[in-house]
Structure 1
């Protein structure tokens, strides 16, 4: 497991304290030790909601006889959401990948079972965990939803919603909060996120960066070539920028994930902005491959020193912890 970066460690401490407050009353229960979810306690020691409840999702509505306690998350976003609600999942897809890329917030407990890849989780492993709820995404599980729903009631969401990934993240957290009987915890997590965003906006305003134009991107190497994807307004960073008092310089067409794949020449329209990017430490195309190209070196943000690397552990597609980290990293980059 990699050590979270500086910004992530700071956020981890703050959010972990909130998560511990939610779970402290029932810490050490047999179910929790087995990775079976946190006991049914709401913040302040109150009992969480009990009895039948209904959750709306992409497949319609799912009714649970009582709040779920053994939950399997087949998408990293929903594993993070469960942690934000103070619930330890019974199983998560690709835990190693989660530990590497999703560095905001508390870590998954050692008892959480890895159920395979996000693209093709092991249905046998999921079934063996005897979950009372499975949470998945449209992009991963459209084809095998019925098989999952046969194992346990399954909620399907779309973290890459074209209507806006930021608002989707917030509403999905609330729905998962309902499913596990932790509506109050969902509200508290979103309130904490809003406070982090407000603090980041104040830092930017104090540094006279209010209204600055920003381009947010990620980069990596595929088949020996550098790939650059720019994030549109429909993504979580795109939704965050106006709340931070910033403007998204990019107006390109979004793909199914809310990004635009571009070549160096395609960045010409946003060269007057500041470019903020995420890339793996061992595959930082913005620091290695791209500067070898004269077209890149002649872009105004490259010549003007306005290309800023965000921490490699800044995950653009997560829940409230990751979103708070994105806001913090953007503020760090533009004020340092």
Structure 2
């Protein structure tokens, strides 16, 4: 059987926050911001200079990663796009705090619902059109995060968190959350080495049924998840390329024959939706993969958002090690 060409796919961004402690220093003293008690101007992912009032407390988050960044610096959003979806997809790695108002979907948030909350700040992620930003900016300042960048996925996660910290007067809390994450990664890396798992090839992927056909979305080099598992000692087994922002590709089941024989396959889903154990249960190509035959396919726990922040990625690292560690 010939291997199919591995295609790069456009990313579809379908978003346990680390509690940061310590006193809050003047926002941006180390990043050029105004002293505490004054407004701050932050240059966001659009290159726009966003003027944000002092004392931000009421914030609306239009992407799940923005929710996590806000919670990581000690701010509970008053409004969240698709709050129910957040709890379903991210509730284990970074549980939703408080009781935020649902402000519509992440693709199409409700302008009326957001306006009704009279927020001090709205946090979005790059990818919306200019008209959408204009509508939101009529309500409150809009801070646009990069969300992802395949050139530096972990660094982008950190910079977005720092931007949220600077904008809300909690840059020290952002730095503390980053330091906690890096310390946790060091601990997990040591556990991987002790278990003799260093260098194990992993391939993380999503599976979807589209018009009766199974579509696979592998996480290529540049995606956040491989960057995280590589940081703790594993290697990315997927040989294909991904898009420039999220590092995601697309292939079919036959394309998975490009994986090396010793690769482990990782995936996540929610609830009973499971393409890999349902739609592919009788697929000859899938069942013939070395990873499947060797029992090296691992469904990781529900509720860890794959495009999240430091809390989600710390939980992801833990889940990967738990899945590959031999049972006592």
TM-score interval w.r.t. the shorter chain? 0.7 to 0.9
Distance 1:195 1:320 in 2: 11
Relative to structure 1, the CA distance from residue 64 to residue 279 in structure 2 (aligned partners, 3 Å threshold; closer, same or farther) is closer
CA contact (8 A) 2:228 2:317 kept: yes
Distance 2:260 2:305 in 1: 24
The answer to whether 1:321 aligns with 2:308 is no
Q: CA deviation at 1:313?
A: 1.6
Relative to structure 1, the CA distance from residue 45 to residue 189 in structure 2 (aligned partners, 3 Å threshold; closer, same or farther) is closer
Distance 1:174 1:304 in 2: 43
Question: Residue 211 of structure 1 corresponds to which residue in structure 2?
Answer: 199
Question: Residue 297 of structure 2 corresponds to which residue in structure 1?
Answer: 307
Relative to structure 1, the CA distance from residue 47 to residue 137 in structure 2 (aligned partners, 3 Å threshold; closer, same or farther) is closer
The answer to whether 1:56 aligns with 2:59 is no
SS at 2:209's partner residue?
strand
Question: Residue 127 of structure 2 corresponds to which residue in structure 1?
Answer: 139
Question: Residue 167 of structure 2 corresponds to which residue in structure 1?
Answer: 179
Question: Residue 235 of structure 1 corresponds to which residue in structure 2?
Answer: 223
TM superposition score normalised by structure 2: 0.85
The answer to whether 1:266 aligns with 2:251 is no
CA contact (8 A) 2:89 2:270 kept: no
RMSD of aligned C-alpha atoms? 1.9
Aligned pairs for 1:1-336 (under 5 A) are 11=16, 15=18, 18=19, 22=21, 43-44=22-23, 49-59=36-46, 60-103=48-91, 104-110=93-99, 112-255=100-243, 257-272=246-261, 273-336=263-326
Q: CA deviation at 1:46?
A: 6.5
In the alignment, structure 2 segments of 5+ residues that lack a partner are 1-15, 28-35
Relative to structure 1, the CA distance from residue 171 to residue 185 in structure 2 (aligned partners, 3 Å threshold; closer, same or farther) is same
TM superposition score normalised by structure 1: 0.83
Deviations 1:156-176 (A, max 9, x none): 123132323322111000000
In the alignment, structure 1 segments of 5+ residues that lack a partner are 1-10, 23-42
CA contact (8 A) 2:121 2:141 kept: yes
Q: CA deviation at 1:71?
A: 0.9
CA contact (8 A) 2:59 2:119 kept: yes
Q: How many residues align?
A: 299
Distance 2:56 2:43 in 1: 15
Distance 2:105 2:24 in 1: 36
Q: After the TM superposition, which parts of structure 1 deviate over 4 Å for at least 4 consecutive aligned residues?
A: 45-48
Name the structure with the higher helix share.
1
